[in-house]
Amino acid sequence: MSNTPLIASDQPLTESLRRTLDAVLEIIIPAEPARGMPSAREVAVFRYLQDHASDYWRLLATQLDELDASAFRQFAQHFADLSLDERMRVAHVMRNTNPGFLRRLALETVTCYYQDDRVMVAVGMEPRPPAPKGQEAYAGDFSLVEPVIARGAIWRRTE
């Protein structure tokens, strides 16, 4: 059997479309070094889409092409070559004409982003699944019930 995929959308993105994807990821979540936050282009969104959003993944190339075409119409340049501000403006137009594509991309992006080790650490978590270690939890001050006790029983008598 040939190893050539039967449909083009099974192919990884071309280099140029990867650049477009990275460029859009960067405007969804840019880096903020002061907080230790990487940009979304630095986390494995591409891989995540492949593994977890196969329905969407199949449409990605066409949609990124459309985004790039839109950049060309507005600025006569590839999307990836635009400034952050210009990219935002192109995306804004596309959010009106084709809202589903970018809304879904943003949702999948934050989903992947907030599972990344660096991001988890930056938001104050350990980069691991919750189990088996769990968390140290602060028990709290149970003497706060005193005023409730002082008001006495409130259950309704039936007999």
Partner 1 sequence: MADAQYNKRVDVLIIGAGASGAAVAWSLAETGMHILCIEQGDWVNPLNYPSTQRDWEMAGQRNYAISPNVRKLKADYPINDEESPIAIANFNAVGGSTILYSAHFPRFHPSDFRVRSLDGVADDWPISYFDLEPFFALNDQNIGVAGHPGDPALPPHTPTMSPVPLGTMGETMARAFNQLGWHWWPSDTAIITRDHEGREACANIGSCNVGCPKGAKSSADVSYWPVALRAGVKLRTNCRVREITVGPDGMATGATYYDDLGVEHHQAAEMVIVACNGVGTPRLLLNSKSPRFPDGIANSSGLVGKNLMLHPWGNVQGLFDHPVDRFGPEGSCMLSQQFYETDASRGFVRGYNMQITRGRGPVLTARAALWRGELPWGANHHTVFEKLYNRTINLGICVEDLPEECNQVTLDPKLTDSNGIPSPKISYRLSENSRRMLNHGLARGVEAMEAAGAIRTDTVGPIRMAGWHLLGTARMGADPRTSVVNEWGRSHDVKNLFVVDGSVFVTSGGVNPTTTIQAVALYIADQIKKRLANLFD
Residues that bind partner 1 (CB under 8 A): 27-30, 32, 35, 37, 52, 84, 88, 91, 106-107, 110-111, 113-115, 119-120, 123-125, 128-142, 144-145, 147-149, 151-159
**Which residue's CB is nearer to partner 1, number 10 or number 51?**
51
CB of 124 to partner 1, least distance (A): 7
Looking at residue 4, the DSSP 8-state letter turns out to be S
What are the distances in angstroms from CA 15 to CA 19, 21, 22, 57, 106?
6, 10, 11, 16, 21
Name 19's Cβ contacts closer than 8 Å, sequence gap at least 6.
78, 80
**Which residue's CB is nearer to partner 1, number 29 or number 60?**
29
CB of 66 to partner 1, least distance (A): 18
CA 132 vs. chain centroid, Å, equals: 26
CB of 35 to partner 1, least distance (A): 6
